[in-house]
Chains A and B, each alone.
Chain A
Amino acid sequence: MAGKKTICTDIDIMKNNIRVERAIKNITQAELADLVKVSRQTINAIESNKYVPSAVLAMKIARIFEKKVEDIFTLEDDD
């Protein structure tokens, strides 16, 4: 792959396991959205890896699940 450079956006390298955490805590997308004060579409977009949340929102979500931010949102090196 020498000399080939691909454009890697945030969406490609950010992974999250919100869906798993939601199942553990047994709350729906709508409930989680109400807890962090965003719309349900935002939670859905984050889970489907279509949207990268801001740092504040990521911390709020982590606080709901009582975990560290790095446990829920992971950064994968795509080199």
Chain B
Amino acid sequence: METKFLFPHRYKKVGWVLLIPFFILGLWFTITGQEYEPDFLTYSQGKSSVFDDPSFLFNLTYNNFTNEILGIGLLLGLILTAFSKERIEDERVKHLRLESLLWAVYCNSFLILMAFIFIYGSLFMTVMTYAMFTPLIFFILRFNWLLWQEKRQSVQILI
């Protein structure tokens, strides 16, 4: 696996700094169901709207950008955290990274399969918006768990 498409190691901290607050915020929005939309993030979409039909679903004159900022911040944080190089990039780390990616895609595909079978209606769309982020989340969890496990084992067999 080539490492020229990975971010340098120092971006990992940036990734975590971005990821943790947005992730907590997103979780909070999900669990409480309330969406805190500060007023300064509300912008008008413009008066000359093409969709003049009053029964059109999106006939709104304003749009709040909280969701967009949350999604962008979460995605950028996940990308930076997941795909930054380790401090020492050797072949074992590349191998583990490839395995973790495969594992993450398998897990995510399984979840989507379950969603197709068991979830319907507008809840399905909600689940699909979460499914945008779960591959990277699974990858981060699996990759770091593998590295931590190896480190723990190598500490135990310290010669």
User: Residues on A close to B: CB < 8 A?
Assistant: 19, 28-29, 37-42, 44-45, 48, 51, 53-54, 57
Contact = CB atoms under 8 A, between A and B. Distances in A.
A44 B90 contact: no
Contacts of B57: none
Interface of B: 88, 90-93, 95, 147, 150-151, 153-154, 157, 159
Shortest beta-carbon contacts, A-B, top 4? A44-B154, A38-B90, A39-B88, A42-B92
B44 to A, nearest CB: 54
Contact of A38 (B88, B151, B159): B88
A29 B150 CA distance: 14
Q: Interface residues of B: mostly helix, strand, loop or mixed?
A: helix
Contacts of A28: 159
A48 B157 contact: yes
A47 B153 CA distance: 12
Contact of A51 (B88, B92, B151, B157): B92
12 contacts: A19-B159, A38-B91, A39-B92, A40-B154, A41-B92, A41-B154, A44-B150, A44-B154, A45-B154, A48-B153, A51-B95, A54-B91
